[in-house]
Structure 1
């Protein structure tokens, strides 16, 4: 049964970009914003924790980026999402679309509900597609220990099977077969570093309400029984002092080696002594990467910020270690 509605010219298409922590959502978002498509998108980013980092990782200076921190978009900040979208509706002639990037712990069902249960949002926007990014190396384990990861796959219209370069061909086939046991209809796009053409993701009218109602018959009721894994917590740390790069590398290396299995996601924007550029650090479990991403904005505070998301995270221990990385 397909209930995909015919798009109205006055409705702004909305793409919900979801996927578990560290799958590559922000990388894909940057791909979309960097392509020479001549379109203008508003971007809404939700982060798990009180400290925002993803906004600094988003390129595309022409795009408006709205942050929603310290709560999950499918729970406590859903009202914020509605208010932001309603504000954007008032100048819809200037926008070609809206991209909503959820936290990695979001269940996409209540996010999608927003576009059907709020009358103003429903009349002025249309849910175009739920795009889920999955990490080919870690997905099978995530499907074992995370209900959210399974929901993200189940509700996807398009699945970007990312980081294919990190697994062998046989394992990649097993991952895709596992995806198909959860979602038989989504289009699967294999990718390295989220390198997927925008034409395969945006403004495709891919969302099928009929399929979603088969998954969750109460979808249009507006009610949601979504609950997070209370064992997963976020620790956000800041430092106003420049960091010593070698000291930080030794510390973070030891942390990831010792606690990497419990750390689902680590990300930060760092100010190293003697560097005029911001350094973006990211890790998924023990796999880490980092690069300088451009100059600090003139007049901006050169504050280092780092976020740890995982199980058994000890704030006091991390705080002491981070403070010890300050340059002397």
Structure 2
């Protein structure tokens, strides 16, 4: 049976760094074939041109589609669903679809669109990534240039001119599976800590906030969350139900910083006695050590099938996928987190 194609929604205000983050993702895709849908407004397809300039094997020009007929949430039937169907009908169907929303679009209506009959059995929302501008938040703003945001909003008749930016910002946080606090290199440790505290008040339990400089995040952090957000819309309640806005960001920094701020290592152990108890153990270790992602497989005593395990924050999903056969019956877990993880303590806790 064909599996659903995963799609990641990337949202955030003008100038937060969405395009820069996507450029970095494409340059470090590790063999994934990624298609992009960009919700552009106006006559200048700035983001599309920036991304088409990547010239990366991960995403050719034919893999980039721009929706410029209005806010993506207002053109679901006419624009978004047909575009998704074109991508999914291709013989060389992409491994992953990334959707960059206009800077002021609400993510919730877009998530609900994944339940449309034409695409619901073929694609799933892997995760919603909300990018925020760290220095702007430090200075009491939601975007680097709020006046520019309002000018773009006022110029488009299809969007809501009344909803405060604060409510739109809260909607984007409420819907997120991950929040990227971008431009963190421009913040002092005390400023970053204060912003993290404020952001945590607006997100759901288990959602992680990841600092970023110039959008340089490993692809394995951004993709593969398996959140199935379209089946979880009630938990991502929106503050209002108006229609919204537009704007795109292009961030003026370039990408390609190293991933020194993150580390990955593998923990191996033998068979596990109880699958449920082990999943709880993994969740506790994640909470105790602030691990971003954990994935791998486990050998469960008395079970011929291996247990696949995928964790994003403290949410741990498990299922039996295939027999071990002649392969060694061992448990191997990949741990991903920010630099400074206590590797010895994590290994000890996971092998206890």
TM bin, normalised by shorter chain, reads 0.5 to 0.7
CA displacement, residues 44-97 of structure 1 (integer Å, 9 cap, x when unaligned): 001233321111111244421101114111224663111100111112653101
Maintained 8 Å contact 2:17/2:249: no
State the 1:115 CA deviation: 0.6
Equivalent in the alignment of 1:11:
4
Q: Distance in 1 between matches of 2:91 and 2:242?
A: 31
Label 1:266 to 1:31 Cα distance change in 2 as closer, same or farther (>3 A). closer
Equivalent in the alignment of 2:74:
75
Q: Distance in 1 between matches of 2:3 and 2:91?
A: 8
Equivalent in the alignment of 2:227:
206
Match of 2:42, SS state, is coil
Equivalent in the alignment of 1:54:
47
Match of 2:141, SS state, is helix
State the 1:208 CA deviation: 4.6
1:192 maps to 2:190: no
Maintained 8 Å contact 2:7/2:124: yes
Equivalent in the alignment of 1:216:
237
Label 1:182 to 1:207 Cα distance change in 2 as closer, same or farther (>3 A). farther
Equivalent in the alignment of 1:101:
100
Maintained 8 Å contact 2:47/2:249: no
Equivalent in the alignment of 1:170:
190
Maintained 8 Å contact 1:44/1:67: yes
Maintained 8 Å contact 1:51/1:69: no
Q: Normalized against structure 2, the TM-score is what? A: 0.58
CA displacement, residues 138-187 of structure 1 (integer Å, 9 cap, x when unaligned): 13422974422221111000111110112222121111111111104311
Label 1:214 to 1:15 Cα distance change in 2 as closer, same or farther (>3 A). closer
RMSD over aligned Cα, in angstroms?
A: 2.9
Label 1:132 to 1:60 Cα distance change in 2 as closer, same or farther (>3 A). farther
Maintained 8 Å contact 2:16/2:132: yes
1:122 maps to 2:120: yes
Maintained 8 Å contact 1:17/1:99: yes
State the 1:125 CA deviation: 0.5
Q: Distance in 2 between matches of 1:169 and 1:124?
A: 43
CA displacement, residues 216-269 of structure 1 (integer Å, 9 cap, x when unaligned): 399xxxxx932337xxx87xxxxxxxxxxxxxxxxxxxxxxxxxxxxxx786xx
The within-5 A match list for 1:256-271 is none
Equivalent in the alignment of 2:135:
137
Equivalent in the alignment of 1:226:
242
State the 1:32 CA deviation: 0.9
Maintained 8 Å contact 1:71/1:77: no
Maintained 8 Å contact 1:107/1:226: no
Match of 1:119, SS state, is coil
Q: Distance in 2 between matches of 1:77 and 1:94?
A: 21
Label 1:47 to 1:39 Cα distance change in 2 as closer, same or farther (>3 A). same
Maintained 8 Å contact 1:41/1:99: yes
Label 1:61 to 1:78 Cα distance change in 2 as closer, same or farther (>3 A). farther
Match of 2:72, SS state, is coil
Q: Distance in 2 between matches of 1:131 and 1:78?
A: 23
State the 1:112 CA deviation: 0.7
* Structure 1 portions without partners, runs of 5+: 1-7, 219-223, 235-264, 268-281, 284-288, 292-328
Give the aligned length. Answer: 226
Q: Distance in 2 between matches of 1:106 and 1:19?
A: 8
* Structure 2 portions without partners, runs of 5+: 144-163, 256-352
